[in-house]
Structure 1
Amino acid sequence: MLRLPEPGDFDAWADFCADADQMRFLGGAMPRSVAWRDMAMRAGAWASHGFSMFSVIERATGAWVGRIGPWQPEGWPGTEVGWGVARAFAGRGYAYEAAAAAMDYAVDVLGWRQVIHTIDPDNAASIRLAERLGSTNRGPVSLPPPLAHFRVDAWGQSADQWRARRVAAK
């Protein structure tokens, strides 16, 4: 289930942000105080811009799975659907299911014509997910400060390509 971040998500969000392995390609592990600002920033983007990362919630348990969704802060190289899933839920299909729903949201609700995923070339798991979503590597892009030193490629596709993929899957 995708929904806006809520205060009750914070403990799981902070645990995710503290996990150095899970955060390796997402800016690095964060102390709890920085994780709070990260969650508040994403929740604030909903209020100020009408979109941001969703909290992904496991229906059966109500557990916080991760954060996935549309993302385009100032200076970002494009309209992105990004993802991050807590270790306990990795490899269980949640990232694909939520990213596909977020792609639908970005294309159908937000009207985005292009969707990218900024991915470190060493992040094999995210590259596999991008490929499974039908995205292709469009080459290196630069992130704005303070992330400008990160090496990332823009994986992406057009809204028309995404829509055609949905039709073909039915």
Structure 2
Amino acid sequence: MPISEVKIPHIETPRLILRGPRPEDFAPMLAMWQDPEVLTYFHSTGFSREDVWGRYLRIFGMWAVMGFGFFVVEDKASGAFAGVAGVFDTKRELDPPVPEGMPEAGWVLARAFHGKGYGTECMQAVFAWADEALNGPEIFCIMNPENQGSIRVAEKCGFAPWYICEHGGHPTKVMRRAPHGKPVTVA
């Protein structure tokens, strides 16, 4: 299936464009996934070119198979690659497990876009789209418990703490967002 046949929505916010990936996005995506500052909370010193190529291709596959996935985030003013963000199905092996089929949210921004509200802006647009296109599913996200920036983005987007577990040998904070972003009831 040619790239042009994979249907990925085009979403605009005041400062950003969320769109499908283009061949020219691979180089800045590789740079982002190899930047030590971006990877501070990923327990990694950098992803190989091969790993990032797999992540890049997974964007198309997720959209083609699931009808949702990651968007490339582009800065409207400069046209620069700003990162990736979206909802996807990871089949994560967490203990306790999340319900089968519950989408996961994720966002990673290039260093130049940290600390300026871009994460919240792009994820609010992703959730507005998901609430309409996917009928507002309950969504989870995971992160390093020390990543206060991502925790703030998640909270601003309606996520509440769910539980702490170990994933990949590291403590992992699991948060969830109720259907249509309604307040989460924590039992």
Fold in common (TM above 0.5): yes
How many angstroms apart in 1 are the aligned matches of 2:119 and 2:53? 22
Q: Aligned-pair distance for 1:27?
A: 5.5
Asked if 2 retains the 8 angstrom alpha-carbon contact of 1:79 and 1:112, the reply is no
How many angstroms apart in 1 are the aligned matches of 2:25 and 2:61? 15
Asked if 2 retains the 8 angstrom alpha-carbon contact of 1:45 and 1:52, the reply is yes
How many angstroms apart in 1 are the aligned matches of 2:123 and 2:25? 19
How many angstroms apart in 2 are the aligned matches of 1:142 and 1:4? 32
- The answer for the alignment partner of 2:179 in structure 1 is 159
**Consecutive unaligned residues in structure 1, runs of 5 or more:** 165-170
Which amino acid letter does the alignment assign opposite residue 46 of structure 1? Answer: W
Match status 1:65 vs 2:92: no
Which amino acid letter does the alignment assign opposite residue 23 of structure 2? Answer: P
After superposition, the Cα gap between the structure-2 partners of 1:47 and 1:55, relative to the gap in structure 1 and judged at 3 Å, is same
- The answer for the alignment partner of 1:129 in structure 2 is 153
- The answer for the alignment partner of 1:80 in structure 2 is 104
| C-alpha RMSD of the superposition | 1.9
Q: Percent identity?
A: 27
Match status 1:149 vs 2:148: no
Match status 1:19 vs 2:35: yes
Query: Of residues 101, 109, 112 in structure 1, which corresponds to 2:133?
Result: 109
Which amino acid letter does the alignment assign opposite residue 150 of structure 1? Answer: H
**What is the TM-score of this pair, normalised by structure 1?**
0.84
Q: Aligned-pair distance for 1:112?
A: 4.0
How many angstroms apart in 2 are the aligned matches of 1:43 and 1:26? 23
- 1:16 aligned counterpart, secondary structure: helix
Match status 1:93 vs 2:117: yes
Q: Aligned-pair distance for 1:150?
A: 3.5
- 1:129 aligned counterpart, secondary structure: helix
**Consecutive unaligned residues in structure 2, runs of 5 or more:** 1-16
After TM superposition, the structure 1 stretch with the greater mean CA deviation from structure 2, 6-15 or 102-111, is 102-111
Q: Aligned-pair distance for 1:22?
A: 0.8
After superposition, the Cα gap between the structure-2 partners of 1:19 and 1:72, relative to the gap in structure 1 and judged at 3 Å, is same
Higher helix share goes to which structure?
A: 1
Asked if 2 retains the 8 angstrom alpha-carbon contact of 1:114 and 1:157, the reply is yes
- 2:90 aligned counterpart, secondary structure: coil
Asked if 1 retains the 8 angstrom alpha-carbon contact of 2:42 and 2:144, the reply is no
